[in-house]
Copies of this chain bind each other. A is one copy, B any other.
């Protein structure tokens, strides 16, 4: 069938893009992000440096290859949620289902380490999420028939998209995600003092 890769041209294009991304990731993991130049990557992938920038918007984008359609996934989670499920529950479930498994993958450990130890990549990763604030906010607003820039909807979108950054690095990410959603649903409550620690 003609569906997976169409045309010889687009296949070669995808191939070079992939070889660039592969070379970049390998070099980054070997030497560290700052110790690898675009020329190094271009040489390793046997392309010119300008070709690298034809496929990727910048150096950081090389690390987060398939940034895929997080946006459409988020919007779908809002719009196509199960009947009767509240909006916040749908978002909570989506975060638990689609973000937690990715970060829990064992092979991603060194990748996560690379990102966390490189300030430029940490900043880029955070904006990767918050960039979708407007889109998610609009999707939420549509659910309630209000303007796309409705303050409450945009605020919720922004706060939800901050959750990955907040839960990152926690020992129990699942519990962290739940706790943050509890804040969003019930309002913020002062934490319990550890003077009377829980039994278990």
Contact at A188–B193, with CB atoms within 8 Å?
A: no
| Nearest chain B CB to A154 CB, angstrom units | 7
| A76 interface residue per 8 A CB criterion | no
The distance from the CB of A190 to the nearest CB of chain B, in whole angstroms, is 5
B-chain residues with CB within 8 Å of residue A192 when the two chains form the complex? 146
Candidates B130, B146, B154, B155; contact of A193 at CB < 8 Å: B146
Interface residue ranges of A52-88 to B (CB < 8 Å): 87-88
* Bound Cα distance from A194 to B165, whole angstroms: 34
Q: How large is the interface on A (under 10, 10 to 19, 20 to 34, 35 or more residues)?
A: 35 or more
Q: Are A187 and B187 in contact (CB under 8 A)?
A: yes
Is A46 in the interface zone, CB < 8 Å from B? no
**Binding-face segment, A3-11, A16-24, A178-186:** A178-186
The contact string, 1 if C-beta is below 8 Å from chain B, for chain A 141-168, is: 1001111001111111011001001100
Bound together, the chains give a CA A190 to CA B78 distance in angstroms of 13
In the bound complex, CA of A199 to CA of B56 (Å): 51
Apart from A151-B166, A159-B159: 11 A-B pairs, beta carbons within 8 A:
A88-B188, A141-B191, A145-B194, A146-B194, A151-B170, A151-B176, A155-B166, A158-B162, A158-B165, A158-B166, A185-B187
